[in-house]
Structure 1
Amino acid sequence: MNNYSNRWNNNNNSGGMGERKWQQNSLPLPNRKPYQQQQMNTQGGKQGMTPEEQEKKIQHRRTIDYFTPMGKMMIRKNVYNRRKTRQPLGHIRPEMSYLTYLLPPFKEQPAIYDVETKFVHVSTNKARHAIHAIKWTPDAKRVLVSSYSGEFTLWNGMTFNFESIMQAHDSAIFALQYSHDGDWLISGDQEGTIKYWQPNFNNVNILPKSHDNAIQGLAFSPNSSKFVSCSDDQMLKIWNFSTAQQERVLKGHHWDVKCCDWHPSLGIVVSGSKDNLVKLWDPRDATCITTMHDFKHTVTKAQFQQIGNQRLMAASSRDHSTRVFDLRTMKPLLSIRSFNDTDMTAMSWHPVHSSILSIGGYDGSLSTYDLGKAIDPQIVTDDSSISTDAQPNTISPLNFKEFHVKSITEPLSRIPYAHDKAIYTIEYHPLGHLLCTAGADKSLRFWCRGRPNDPLAFKDTAYTGESWAEKQQHFMQRGYKQEFEEGEEMQEEQEAQTAAPSEPAFPGFSIPGLSS
């Protein structure tokens, strides 16, 4: 009796579950439930686990809370600065508790800290279709995904839960674009139809047959009063957003126009086509400013620099290269070659660091490059190269230097198995701490910055390729099985023909040496 009371008191004092633990552990082994016995075996076997198995047990919470770092930042800014006698907190240390001090990206901190290298979550619809366009909603809390089936899907951007789905178009949606003020959304589908949407996804206008073929790209003007659309009918069109009327048609490409973009502060439109050309247009008079003949295959993406001095434009192609152009000289500054000679199908500039460029490949790889290491930082970040004298169009001698086209092959970071198939679209969170990618493998994947002292930072399947290898092995085995079954069927047919030689092997032909 005393032994019983001592055991009950010890367990009861250790926590609220003491009595329940005593009851479970006091049962004889044959009377315990199977999961209890399995749990005890698992707990007892932890001592014999290898370090690799113990590392696999470590799993982080699949959520991104960017409000906690913002709160820490405000406390440091408003409270700690008032008390000058307080000791500063210092930098981030390699320990998991310092995760709350991993602030959103800022221009002052090195760009290498703000590279999204850690896989967070994969989101897939029940109806699996390829994804060609994704956008963060104006509140930056959700991700809008358009699929080949013509559906809109909303995913939560912090907990990555499914929220809503609706049938938006009758055909595949290839283009999405929010206005700069976030009050409107436009979408284009494979049949050439453009639709207007409110933020609550209320359809307010439809422009049927805006193009004769699939719409591949949409972009708003700096004040969101106009937008440009490009299509596989070899044309670009300028539209008045308020009246929904076509204003101008930009003709000059000789094949499908695959991408377009409107400069965030200037009256310039860029387009890339299947005819290997990149063209810059003046949307006011529908004239082509210049044509760039630097690519040898289809231009898949072309996008202006969103921040910094906004004087750079990047274009990727299926000739295994991405080139960065200087808009002031209309010449290429930098050539980025793919790591393993694969087509480059997606591209996006970082929203905070003007020198960071992320590129997705046809093989599912995701690479991030720092252009500041190869180009003069003044060209990338500030406007010091533009003179401020009485003649605003005068350009300082810095722009007349002979810029030699440099080549980059080593990225700042590379995720070789980010997707199982081609990446079609890349979108950064407006704060720059999250990255979304989607493509032909019918899934949306989230990436974040690495956690301090994370032992599994570069050991997941996105780097090791274990899942990719398993799928390849599965497909190979499936293919061998199919070939084996086909071989058996052919052998059975041959045996049947040999057993009945009176019938010819082929209709209308007889086999020599055999009697009819």
Structure 2
Amino acid sequence: MGIRNYGERDYAFGQLMVTLRTTLGLTQAELAEFLHVSRRAVGDWEAGNSYPKTEHLKVFIGLCVKHRALPAGREVEEIRGLWKAAHQKVLLDERWLSTLFDQSDPPLASLAPQSVKGTRPLESPVTQPAARPHIDWGDALAVPTFYGCEQELTLLTQWIVQERCRVISLLGMGGIGKSTLSVNLMHQVAEHFEIVLFRSLRDAPSCDVLLDDCLQVLSPELLNTVPASLERRISLLIERFRKGRVLLVLDNLESLLEEGNIKGRFRPGFEGYGMLLRRVAETMHQSCLLLTSREKPGELRALEGKYAPMRSLRLSGLDVAACEQLFAEKDVIGSPQDWAYLTEVYAGNPLALKIVAETIADLFGGEIDQFLSGDTVIFGGISDLLSEQFARLSAMEQTILRWLAIVREPMTIDELQAMLLAPPPRVQILEAIDSLRRRSLIERGQRLASFTLQAVVLESITTVLITEVTNEIRQRKLHRFIEHGLEQAHAQEYVRQAQQRLIVAPILAQLYSLYHGRGEIEEQLLFLLHQLREQAEHAQGYGPANLIALLRQHRGHLEGIDLSRLVIRGAYLQGVEMRGASLAGATLRDTVFTEAFDVAWAVAISSNGKYWAAGSGQGEVRVWREGGQILHLVWQAHTDNTYALAFSPSGRTLATGSWDGTVKLWDLEDGALLWTGWHTDMIRSVAFSPDGQTLASAGDDAVIQLWKVTSGTNVQTLPHPDPIFSMVWSPDGSMLASSSFDGSIRLWQLQETQLATCAKILIGHTNWVFALAFAPDGTQLASGSWDGTVKLWEVASGRERQTLTGHTERLYAVAWSPDGRTLASAGFGNTIWLWDVERSSYRVALHGHAAVVYSLAFTPDSSSLLSGSEDGTLRVWDVESGQCVHIIQGYMVSFYDVAWSLDNTRLASGGSDMLVTIWDVAGGMQPQVLRGHSWTVFGVVWSPDGRLLASSGRDNAIRLWDPTTGVCLHTLRDPDYVDTIFYGMAWSPDGQMVASGSYMRGVQVWNVETHTRCWVGRTHPTRIRCVAWSPDGTRLASCGDDGSVCLWDSFDGALLARLPGHSGRVRNIAWNPDSSRLASGGGGRGEGEIFVWNAQSGERTQTLKGHPDSVFAVAWNKRGDLLISGGSDGRIRWWEVQSGECLRVCEGHQGAVQSLKISPDGRLLASSGDDSAIRLWDLESAEPQGTLRRDRPYERLNITGTRGLTEAQKITLRTLGAIEEKAAEFLHDS
């Protein structure tokens, strides 16, 4: 293939070729001879000048497979990555790849890298598993060779295979080779197990986190809801240990043990590991737990014995023969006496001997006697040797080690370069990496062309970094502190948390020991912030961000902190309270903030991966670029939930569908609206045809509408018998699949010249089908239902192929990975399940969301999954490991209802935060919070005597509370249908009954004393948003999404009248004081409507128009001559009913006005909305009287003149309370 220019060299590919060749143990000449090419050709590949031809690359891959040069268990992934990196003009031949492994598939025992002298696999009397075991290497190092330890390997194999020991402890000093031996042992005995699992404890995960991680691999079906207790998690693990043979290796257990005089005791917070060890050791099972540690945990001492199933082996280091072999490989020569002396001095420690061997080779010509005569032998432990070695490294080599200690996982050269403030020439970095590898200070990672640190080296360098930083802070002379970012905002989430625990927190701990009080430490850190502010921008480096991380950890918040005129690089400010702080004039780079959204109803990723989008409960759309790292656009797209999103195949436009009944098409460059289409009810699904010419939309009006993308013209309407929940195109565009309220799935055949027809109806689910996804090849369709199952259907025949069970709750979302190998499903259980499609079985369960998961989307390369939830977060998951690698945290509360107490002193609210809150209107007391709902609260109402408070919600419950104590006294549920969602509420004037609207289940009225349902009022299935009792108590009014108002007899629920006329959904109703008139608010197609009805005749007597869009709330004053209304535009209007004149308009809320309630004394109006606020107004003058709101995260944060923020980020920060003054004023002040 062609020669590349110097400036275009592919260093990453070259480094990968070098790594694989050296792993094979070949020189460039030897590899060239094997491949029948010139040595120069190999040299050009490794220099990144050119790529191998396809035939040469295939032979090279075959060589790597045959000699185990690729990380075990990840061979296929590594080969795919190598093929892609080599820029081949042809696709990887999958059949050839399969044949390659069929031809080279020896027993797993022979997969172990052979020791220098060789080890012979043991004969085992145990019956071998029929299939190859599943091996999960976790973050195990790639270990191609190891030295000596033949007897130890034999003994450990005997303990595991023949004697079936339950717990084995592999003990020894740091660097002695415990991890290396354990990895080789895993290879040796893997064929005797169903699952082999390696986990490192060097980042000190909690026992809960470790167990969840292991159970995700071993038995994700047991974790469909995360057990509440540690004991339960341990029991689940042991249950799996009993069912089949599992080998679990826990490396670096010493990271969890206390240091000092107390040996073998777990550190505070890690005592759960002691319980885990005892239970695994004392309980009968057929699995094995292998531990590596520098010391033995106390829990195992009394349990071990010669004939007990618990054993321990202490490694004593290499013998002289193995030491001689190690030195020979490094081209170091010496006498037998020299070998023996060095083995004794360094206690046979392999890592120490490797480091010394490289020193001898580099500085003493490979002659041991010269080294020994030079007075350079370090007497002491491995830590002393590493400290001495670190001191002798070049500045570049030290920098690389520090960054590896910070990142704490394998990294590539490109990733390293991106972190350096002033990256040197790439060749200098390559030379430093090669030098560190030769010195055995870095190791090859499992990822292609990556490198990392052994645990003992990581620990040593981390200690060095912590000490250096602490001293620099104490001396007020910052150097390393500026060059290195101690915590990285965009690091994978589990890495960032480890950086907090193992770097930031220990630095603070050392500072606490040096200063007399916490105040002195804060004073020192604030002084350093001021010191940095006086320096040039380029000289501040990572310093400000590091100080922010320390202050945040120290204080728990950043309230009132002056961060003005600083260069802040990579600070993590998400979820951090910064009330009254200042970023005025600061420059921000790669800084993460909390986002302004509450519920992520929909997520989508463009086909090229450039844009990620999410739709919120307030009708907003947020679009990010660069893998969700930078907020690109945010705009108010709809007046209700943005429930559906779809990127066009070109990735240039975005379609949105909303509960406001509109489908819209947007330009992604600037967020411009291209066209709007209408449904008569809420929209639940939008989808582009694969050719991008047609957009389909569907929802609760039971039709699929097909739109011409270029013009927004409706070209066809497909009727459905029931509301439609989901709809997807087949990959070839010939078919549409839709799912419905009745549990059925319809397949529509689309033809260019004819109308679409329903080709098949798929029956099998027993509840609503909320989610559909076609397989990428179009042969299968996946469906997710509220019956808790995922079904796979053959598209050609319509036959149900398989039912995937395991979810115990209702499902909201399914997504098929673009590579067709993984299916994701999620819903009410808060857990996302990943299914192996080829095996039709679960693969891993993803835990982290705290509420319902509504939406899922894979990245184009299938490596990551994006999820959106009721908990206000978007999470990004690594599909391979199941780790949560990124979180986008939102904050915003919509208050859907407010209610006055009888004495006018308190207001109750319910909203998207799942709380019922009782506010002191005067503001003198803290709000009282009533917890119990597990989902959005839509309605709150006081009983007429003020003794009870009722609330309703999406969690299928009506709760009756004692407002004095905050205790939930009783919970009411639909006795006929457990999944009923309840909306607005009303208490009868006599206090005996409470009524609620519902989704598709009519008006429901309950007897408060007996807690029984009195009657249900139904017309046809629709969402009933609001109910209102007439003041005389004789009638109950309801309104809903079918555009009508209904009047019911309070006694028996008889339908007295149905009042049609609204052009869209009716969102709110209110009686006038004498029960003679009824006002209803709603609207559609861009115009708000308020109708006034004669309650006796049903005649519409007045129409009030002026709201530009839908009317969300209406209320009468006490005299009955004024109506107050609130709309989707956030404005509140006062109307004179007699004349229909709009008397005044007030700016009420950012976003929709959700509720309006007048105080019992008629003096005040309370309004609530989508901006987390309740506002009080003088009813007569419309003057604002105050605001009730919890402080937002960035309340009064000054962002005047702040650079590095996109306009979308500024909008978000202002929404969350930030302030931005005029630039001139800021410049004057500064």
Q: Which secondary structure state, in structure 2, belongs to the residue aligned with residue 213 of structure 1?
A: coil
Q: How far apart are residue 299 of structure 1 and its match?
A: 0.4
Q: How far apart are residue 217 of structure 1 and its match?
A: 0.9
> Counterpart of 2:259 in structure 1: which amino acid?
Q
Q: Which secondary structure state, in structure 1, belongs to the residue aligned with residue 446 of structure 2?
A: helix
Work out which of the residue numbers 336, 339, 346 in structure 1 matches 2:804: 336
Within-5 A mapping of 1:49-448: 50=266, 97-101=445-449, 126-137=595-606, 139-158=608-627, 160-208=629-677, 210-251=678-719, 253-284=720-751, 285-306=755-776, 309-339=777-807, 341-352=808-819, 354-374=820-840, 411-415=842-846, 417-448=847-878
Counterpart contact for 2:930–2:966, Cα < 8 Å: no
Alpha-carbon distance between aligned partners in 2 of 1:176 and 1:344, rounded to the nearest angstrom: 18
Tell me: CA distance 1:241–1:161, structure 2 relative to 1, closer, same or farther (3 Å): closer
What's 1:110 paired with? none
Alpha-carbon distance between aligned partners in 1 of 2:408 and 2:618, rounded to the nearest angstrom: 28
Alpha-carbon distance between aligned partners in 2 of 1:67 and 1:158, rounded to the nearest angstrom: 20
Tell me: CA distance 1:444–1:298, structure 2 relative to 1, closer, same or farther (3 Å): same
Once the two structures are superposed, residues 324-358 of structure 1 have per-residue CA deviations (whole angstroms, 9 ceiling, x without a partner) of: 0011211011101134x211111111122x13101
Tell me: CA distance 1:272–1:322, structure 2 relative to 1, closer, same or farther (3 Å): same
Alpha-carbon distance between aligned partners in 2 of 1:172 and 1:64, rounded to the nearest angstrom: 42
Alpha-carbon distance between aligned partners in 2 of 1:156 and 1:51, rounded to the nearest angstrom: 42
Is the deviation greater in 121-130 or in 159-168?
Answer: 121-130
Counterpart contact for 2:700–2:724, Cα < 8 Å: yes
Once the two structures are superposed, residues 435-460 of structure 1 have per-residue CA deviations (whole angstroms, 9 ceiling, x without a partner) of: 11012112111112567xxxx969x9
Q: Which secondary structure state, in structure 1, belongs to the residue aligned with residue 259 of structure 2?
A: helix
Alpha-carbon distance between aligned partners in 1 of 2:620 and 2:413, rounded to the nearest angstrom: 31
> Counterpart of 2:853 in structure 1: which amino acid?
I
Q: Which secondary structure state, in structure 2, belongs to the residue aligned with residue 236 of structure 1?
A: strand
Tell me: CA distance 1:59–1:224, structure 2 relative to 1, closer, same or farther (3 Å): farther
Alpha-carbon distance between aligned partners in 2 of 1:52 and 1:237, rounded to the nearest angstrom: 61
Q: Percent identity?
A: 19
Counterpart contact for 1:134–1:144, Cα < 8 Å: yes
Superposition RMSD in Å? 4.5
Q: How far apart are residue 286 of structure 1 and its match?
A: 2.4
Is the deviation greater in 284-293 or in 151-160?
Answer: 151-160
Q: How far apart are residue 99 of structure 1 and its match?
A: 3.5
Q: How far apart are residue 146 of structure 1 and its match?
A: 1.4
Counterpart contact for 1:177–1:219, Cα < 8 Å: yes
Q: How far apart are residue 47 of structure 1 and its match?
A: 3.5
Unpaired segments ≥5 residues, structure 2: 1-256, 274-403, 418-441, 451-491, 497-573, 575-591, 888-912, 918-928, 933-948, 950-960, 968-989, 992-1230
Alpha-carbon distance between aligned partners in 2 of 1:198 and 1:225, rounded to the nearest angstrom: 15
Q: How far apart are residue 245 of structure 1 and its match?
A: 1.1
Counterpart contact for 1:281–1:287, Cα < 8 Å: yes
Is the deviation greater in 140-149 or in 211-220?
Answer: 140-149
Q: How far apart are residue 171 of structure 1 and its match?
A: 2.4
Alpha-carbon distance between aligned partners in 1 of 2:669 and 2:809, rounded to the nearest angstrom: 39
Q: Which secondary structure state, in structure 1, belongs to the residue aligned with residue 838 of structure 2?
A: helix
Q: How far apart are residue 120 of structure 1 and its match?
A: 7.8
Q: How far apart are residue 172 of structure 1 and its match?
A: 1.7
Alpha-carbon distance between aligned partners in 1 of 2:594 and 2:966, rounded to the nearest angstrom: 38
Alpha-carbon distance between aligned partners in 2 of 1:164 and 1:204, rounded to the nearest angstrom: 13
Q: Which secondary structure state, in structure 1, belongs to the residue aligned with residue 445 of structure 2?
A: helix
Alpha-carbon distance between aligned partners in 1 of 2:616 and 2:858, rounded to the nearest angstrom: 19
Tell me: CA distance 1:334–1:206, structure 2 relative to 1, closer, same or farther (3 Å): same
Tell me: CA distance 1:138–1:98, structure 2 relative to 1, closer, same or farther (3 Å): same
Alpha-carbon distance between aligned partners in 2 of 1:200 and 1:64, rounded to the nearest angstrom: 36
Once the two structures are superposed, residues 164-183 of structure 1 have per-residue CA deviations (whole angstroms, 9 ceiling, x without a partner) of: 42222232211111111223
Tell me: CA distance 1:313–1:124, structure 2 relative to 1, closer, same or farther (3 Å): farther
Counterpart contact for 2:666–2:675, Cα < 8 Å: no
What's 1:380 paired with? none
What's 2:78 paired with? none
What's 2:1142 paired with? none
Tell me: CA distance 1:96–1:448, structure 2 relative to 1, closer, same or farther (3 Å): farther
Counterpart contact for 1:63–1:159, Cα < 8 Å: no
Q: Which secondary structure state, in structure 1, belongs to the residue aligned with residue 862 of structure 2?
A: coil
Alpha-carbon distance between aligned partners in 1 of 2:645 and 2:410, rounded to the nearest angstrom: 25
Q: How far apart are residue 127 of structure 1 and its match?
A: 3.5
> Counterpart of 2:796 in structure 1: which amino acid?
R
> Counterpart of 2:740 in structure 1: which amino acid?
S
Once the two structures are superposed, residues 89-139 of structure 1 have per-residue CA deviations (whole angstroms, 9 ceiling, x without a partner) of: xxxxx978334558xxxxxxxxxxxxxx98689998543421111122455
Counterpart contact for 1:120–1:445, Cα < 8 Å: no
Counterpart contact for 2:824–2:832, Cα < 8 Å: yes
Q: How far apart are residue 160 of structure 1 and its match?
A: 3.2
Alpha-carbon distance between aligned partners in 2 of 1:437 and 1:203, rounded to the nearest angstrom: 26
> Counterpart of 1:144 in structure 2: which amino acid?
A
What's 1:385 paired with? none
Tell me: CA distance 1:239–1:162, structure 2 relative to 1, closer, same or farther (3 Å): closer
Alpha-carbon distance between aligned partners in 1 of 2:966 and 2:791, rounded to the nearest angstrom: 52
TM-score (norm 1): 0.59
Alpha-carbon distance between aligned partners in 1 of 2:658 and 2:815, rounded to the nearest angstrom: 22
TM-score (norm 2): 0.26
Counterpart contact for 1:120–1:448, Cα < 8 Å: no
Q: How far apart are residue 223 of structure 1 and its match?
A: 1.1
Between the two structures, name the one with larger relative contact order (CA 8 Å, sep ≥ 6): 1
Counterpart contact for 1:132–1:439, Cα < 8 Å: yes
Between Structure 1 and Structure 2, whose CA radius of gyration is higher? 2
What's 1:33 paired with? none
Q: Which secondary structure state, in structure 1, belongs to the residue aligned with residue 598 of structure 2?
A: coil
Q: How far apart are residue 216 of structure 1 and its match?
A: 0.9
Alpha-carbon distance between aligned partners in 1 of 2:964 and 2:844, rounded to the nearest angstrom: 45
Alpha-carbon distance between aligned partners in 1 of 2:837 and 2:857, rounded to the nearest angstrom: 19
Counterpart contact for 2:652–2:669, Cα < 8 Å: no
Counterpart contact for 1:124–1:444, Cα < 8 Å: no
Within-5 A mapping of 1:434-513: 434-449=864-879, 479=931, 486-487=964-965
Counterpart contact for 1:257–1:271, Cα < 8 Å: yes
